[in-house]
Amino acid sequence: MVTDKDGYMHLIQYLTEHLGLFESSESNAAATETVMELFEEQLSAQIIMVCGQNPQLSFAQRNMVIREIDAIVY
């Protein structure tokens, strides 16, 4: 499972280092995007980058990566 891999730990570390995204302030109160939308947007960009950097991945392998990430987000 992904949760016991280094990538999961890096994700948790990234989120911890960017706690400012989760703090409310007057400037953030006017934002229309939710934290989840911002997270999904950044995560999607990272998935695309990983798949682009690894063209040898098959369609099935890419789908497996996406399913694992969906499980983490869920």
Q: Domain range spanning residue 53?
A: 2-73
Rg from Cα positions in the chain: 15
Q: pLDDT band at residue 58, thresholds of 50, 70 and 90? A: very high
Query: Average pLDDT, stretch 50-74?
Result: 87
The CA-atom distances, in angstroms, between 26 and each of 15, 30, 32, 43, 72 are 21, 7, 13, 26, 30
Residue 10: the pLDDT is 87
pLDDT at 60: 92
The count of domains in the chain is 1
Predicted structure pTM score: 0.50
